[in-house]
Amino acid sequence: MTPSEEFLRHADECQHMAKHAHDPEVRRTWIRMAERWHHCANLAKDHESALQVRKARLFRKAAHPD
């Protein structure tokens, strides 16, 4: 499981907790936590994508040295 997938799983758990919270303040807290996990997932996806691009460039350089 990638970090972004793990973060999305946490976000889903927070949304589930928010859905079942009876206290409005507790519900808002769970929702904010879910939003933060989504933000972390997006950052991780960007990082994972950038890492894949860097790996591809290094692979091409290694396969075709100047």
Q: Where are the domains of the chain?
A: 3-63
For the chain, how many helices (H) and strands (E)? Answer: 2, 0
Are 34 and 15 in contact, with CB atoms under 8 Å apart?
A: yes
Cα(11)–Cα(20) distance, integer angstroms: 14
Q: Is the pTM of this model over 0.85?
A: no
**What pLDDT is recorded for position 62?**
73
| 64 sits in which H/E element | none
pLDDT digit string, tens, across residues 12-63: 999 999 999 999 999 999 999 999 999 999 999 999 999 888 888 878 877 7
